[in-house]
Amino acid sequence: MLELRTFALFVVTAIAEIVGCYLPYLWLRQGKSAWLLVPAAISLALFAWLLTLHPTAAGRVYAAYGGVYICVAILWLWVVDGIQPTVWDIAGVLVALVGMGIIMFAPRSA
């Protein structure tokens, strides 16, 4: 159960980070409204706060989060950008998720 909760929290965190970066991209690269910077800032603040909710050392959380971020970013590529991931994208996601699992859930001495 802890593993599922940790993974879900990482997914929500990744979405907050991606949205916080995607909205300025829309403003800068696609000529959308500068008002998009307001929800972008809120989303990035939410992202930072979400990272603090994990009960383990910050460095370990940041390292493991990267694996889930890769997975969510590839899903974003597919769902939002409309680009189907390649077999290499999927392979990279699987490697990243295995790394995340090792970092977060390996047995540790107290």
Tens digits of residue pLDDT in 39-97: 999 999 999 999 889 878 888 888 888 999 999 999 999 999 999 999 999 999 999 99
CA nearest to 42, candidates 79, 17, 69: 17
Domain assignment of residue 110, yes or no: no
Say how far apart CA 98 and CA 66 lie, in whole Å. Answer: 11
Q: Into how many domains does the chain fold?
A: 1
Q: Give pTM, 2 decimals.
A: 0.86
Domain assignment of residue 67, yes or no: yes
- Mean pLDDT to the nearest integer, 26-37: 96
Does 110 have pLDDT greater than 80? no
Domain assignment of residue 62, yes or no: yes
Range of the structural domain that residue 95 is part of: 2-105
